Each structure stands twice: as structure tokens, then as C-alpha cells.
Amino acid sequence: MSHTETFTNWENLVKKQLKTEDIEFVLRKENLEGIEVKPFYNSVQKPLVSLPKIEESTHLVANYHESLEEDVFAFLLKENVENLVEKTIFINNKDLAEHISPADEDQYFSLIDVFDEEIAEINDQLVKELFAKQFKRNICVDISLHQNAGASIYQQLGIALAKTKELTEIYGTDVLNKLIFKIAIGGNYFFEMAKIRAFKLVFNQFSKEVDLNLIPYIFAETSLRNKSVSDSENNLIRSTLELASAMIGGADAVYSNNYQIDNTTENSEEISFKQQIVLAYESIINVFEDASNGSYYIEDITQQIADKSWQFFLEIENNGGYLASLKKGILQEKIYNQAVEEQKWVEQGKIKLIGVNLYPKLEVKKSVEELYNTKEIKPVRWAEMFE
């Protein structure tokens, strides 16, 4: 049977199942990423090899609480705790990082970003202090800020590469083995899987440019952008899907931001962590190296995102690099334009947020102009427009 006949058979089967001749109208999904999504797939042009991760199983990261000490292996630590032995510890507190000296049997990771986006500078003193620590990974490249500010997926990944390039130019290529990438995972389930996979591709490509062959260490956390103050239950469902995207996409560590916005309780913190436990221990999706490998759809959008990310990275480099682009206001404006377009889609209902712009439909209370600033990269939740 020829490829054309196979394609026609698939097409006829899809038409029959959907009970329509116009499958394009039913299945084509618009997106603001500039990614072409076909109505259905029966092949992929260039199959990808399995994309590895650094950790054998994705670390499930909990906020430290003494009641969890026996059962939990990985913690996000906000203050110093004595006698935490043989644990994996992530630190996002600069003052705490300065005072901690890990023992050999500990695994400490810094989630501290050394870029100051507001003044467009690298904190060189902080870099040197972090490098002096016996951490597994010393420097964080944070692009969760950019996701929560409304940057597109390809902008996020292009910025991650540009920040990485800036660090290698100042501190040498050895820095690449010392980096951890903090990525926020949004609600577009398959696109976010592809985002993690695409970043592995472009980071590896970047490392090859400096004669290395590396994969990135990815710390993925749930997004704040699509969460609502008044809709905790829906937030819980959204963040569970985001964690699943991260694990299936091949993140090395996952962390749940609290699903109760502005109203964190001990109970909500416990439930937020249990989301990961259920996914890992009952669905067992944290142990696979590259679970979505071989899916025609995800393979296709992975490669498209990787290509667009690399092009955006080159564009930033042509403007003098990450810090120079910030100083010129170029990146702030590009993220602003993307975020405002996305917010308009929310306002029009083209992006659906249950309980906010759908079931029930709330009134718009803040304009796009009130929420965003062309000169500043700042987190904005979609639902703020209605709150």
C-alpha cells in the first residue's frame, strides 16, 4: 500500500469517526506560538532519538516540613535545617545559600538566578559566592519569570539560551555543567511536553557549538499565569496536568506551587505535594527517560519549537545578547506584545479559563493596559483581568 493510500485511509477514518467532511475545521487548533498543528498525523519527517534526562527518576520536590523528613527525598529549603542527611536539597534563598556548607553525602542545588532583569546586569559577586559552594549545580537560569510574564514558548527557550551564552562568555564553558534551568509549565498539555524536549535539543546544539555534548538539568514548576484567586479546585486540576506534562516531557525535578493563590495553608501545601506523589507512585510517569518519544504530534511540534527557539536566540545575539537586549528594551517589548495578544485571547474567550471566562463568565474589571507595561517583564495571571 502506498503512502498516499495510507493517508487517504486515515483521512476517511477520521471523517467517519467525526461524522463530518470538514475535519480541518473541527481539528485545527489555533495557537499564538506560530506552530503549525495538523488536524491529524500519520508520520513524522525526522524521528528523534530518545532525549535523555540527568536524573534517573524525576525528583518530587516538597517544601521542607519536619513531618515529611522520613518519607520525602527532595526538599525546597527556605531556612537552615540541621541533620538533613542523604537528601536532595534545592535552595532559592540567597542568604541561606551563603550560610550552607553541604556534606559529601548531600546533594544541594541552587535555584538562585544571578541575572538582575531590572537593571540588566549579572551579579558577579553572587556568582563567585555560589561557585565557591560544594553544590551539585551552582547557578540557576530562571525562565519561569518569562513564562509567567506572558512570553511565548519559543521566546522562553531562546532567552534561556541567551542567558546561558552570556554566562559562558564571562565564566567559560565549564559553567554549563553547573547550571540548572528553572522552567514554569503552563496549561497547554502537549506543547509543554514539547517545550521541555525542545529545550533539550537546543541546549545540546548550543553545547556542541563549544565542543561539548551536554543535556540540561531541568527544574520544572507549575505556572502561576493560568491560576485564579477564586478557583482553587480548578487550579488544582490545572497544576496536576502541568506536573504530568513536566514528568512526561522529561524534567529532572518537579515542584508544585500552591494551588491556593494568596491563601496558602498547611493543608493546601500538603495537597500540592500529594499531586506529585499520586502521579509518580500511582501513574509511575516520573521514571521514563522520554515517555512521549515516538508520538508523531509531539515529535513534530518539538522540532518546530526547537527551530523557532534557536532563531529567537540568534535574534537576541544579533542585538548584542541578553543583557544588551534588556538595556535596549527589545525583549521587554517583545514579551509585552506576546503577553497582550494572549490576554486579548483570554478576554475574547479564545483561551478558555473555566470559572473565569467560561462557566461562569465573569466581567472584565481591568484592561490590558492596566495589567501590562511595555518596559517591564513582570508576572501577570490571566484571571487578574476579571478579579
Q: What is the pLDDT of residues 331-366, one digit of tens each?
A: 999 999 999 999 999 999 999 999 999 988 899 999
CA 323 to chain centre: 21
CA 104 to chain centre: 30
Separation CA 373–CA 274 (nearest Å):
36
DSSP string, 245-314: HHHHHT-SEEE---SSTT---HHHHHHHHHHHHHHHHTS--SS-SSTTTT-HHHHHHHHHHHHHHHHHHH
Residue for grid cell 499564538: 32
Residue environment code for 356-377, b if the CB has 16+ CB neighbours within 10 A, otherwise e: bbeeeebeeeeebeebbeeeeb
What CA–CA distances, in Å, run from 161 to 124, 201, 248, 314?
Answer: 19, 11, 22, 9
Q: Which residues, including other chains, have CB under 8 Å from residue 11's CB and lie 6 or more apart?
A: 23, 40
Separation CA 322–CA 163 (nearest Å):
6
pLDDT of residue 238: 97
Residue for grid cell 490571566: 382
Separation CA 55–CA 374 (nearest Å):
39
Instruction: Report pTM.
Output: 0.94
DSSP string, 193-214: HHHHHHHHHHHHHHHHHTT---
Encode pLDDT of 205-250 as tens digits: 999 999 999 999 999 999 999 999 988 999 999 999 999 999 999 9
Encode pLDDT of 276-296 as tens digits: 999 999 988 888 889 999 999
Question: HSE on the CB side for 159, CA within 13 Å?
Answer: 27
pLDDT of residue 8: 82
DSSP string, 92-128: --HHHHHH----TT-EEEE--B-EETTTTEE-HHHHH
pLDDT of residue 47: 87
- Name which of 143, 153, 149, 144 is nearest 35 in CA terms: 153
Mean pLDDT, to the nearest integer, of 46-59?
A: 92
Grid cell in block for residue 33: 506560538
Percent residues over pLDDT 90 in the chain: 76
Grid cell in block for residue 298: 509531539
5 falls in which pLDDT band (50, 70, 90)? low
Whether residue 273 contacts residue 256, with contact meaning beta carbons closer than 8 Å, is answered with: yes
Mean pLDDT, to the nearest integer, of 365-385?
A: 96
Grid cell in block for residue 223: 505556572
Mean pLDDT, to the nearest integer, of 130-135?
A: 92
Residue type, 78: K
| pLDDT at residue 22 tops 90 | no
pLDDT of residue 104: 64
**CA dihedral sign of residues 144, 145, 150, 154:** negative
